[in-house]
Amino acid sequence: MLTRRTLFLLMGGTALAAGGVAASRVGVQPEPPAPPATDAGGHLLWRNWSGIQTAYPASRAAPADEGELADLVRKAPGPIRAVGAGHSFMPLVPTPGTLVTLDRMAGLDGHDADALTASVRAGTRLADLGPALSAIGQEMPNLPDINKQSLAGALSTATHGTGVDFKALHGNVLRSAW
């Protein structure tokens, strides 16, 4: 099976070889074994995109609205952690408690064409946000290279595009509905 780590190593070696530099695996650690799919308690494995961060949350939830989310926060076993695309290398998500996805809390809630503003739900993926805003004539001025992230995750981690004259995504937020 080709893992992400092996793929990165192959891509790096190919890039080095293409540049006329001999590729070498000196100092490269072998890929660690994948963690088991479930723990002793039967909890399913969660892994971030790179496989560096893992957890076996006792509970998983996908609230459909703010009421369900508020109820979950009051009652779910903690610690409660929100997960989007699992793109971060940092240990923001791993929890033995409750893993929450906002995927069901996604989409465009409305917009004001005159003010060029839009209300967007936190679980909206950037890949879906671009076309939704484009459809109402409100394209985003700058986008990150990874579009799998949720809007809440991208805002929370200061995701940015490129260019010294462009703001990070959070620079375009006027206010939160919460």
Tell me the CA end-to-end span of the chain in Å, nearest whole number.
Answer: 44
Q: Under 8 Å CB-to-CB from 152, ≥6 apart: which residues?
A: 82, 84, 102, 122, 123
Output the six-digit token pair for 159.
């995701």
Query: What pLDDT score was predicted for residue 13?
Result: 52
Q: Which CATH architecture best describes the domain 38-104?
A: 2-Layer Sandwich (3.30)
- Per-domain residue ranges of the chain: 38-104, 108-172
Query: What pLDDT score was predicted for residue 25?
Result: 60
Query: What pLDDT score was predicted for residue 103?
Result: 95
Q: CA 41, CA 142: separation in Å to the nearest integer?
A: 45
Angle at 143 between CA 139 and CA 120, to 5 degrees: 55
Query: What pLDDT score was predicted for residue 141?
Result: 80
DSSP assignment of 160-178, as one string? Answer: --S-TTS--GGGG------
Q: State the 10-residue block means of pLDDT for the chain, 178 residues long.
A: 61 53 62 89 94 95 97 96 86 94 95 92 93 91 83 83 79 71
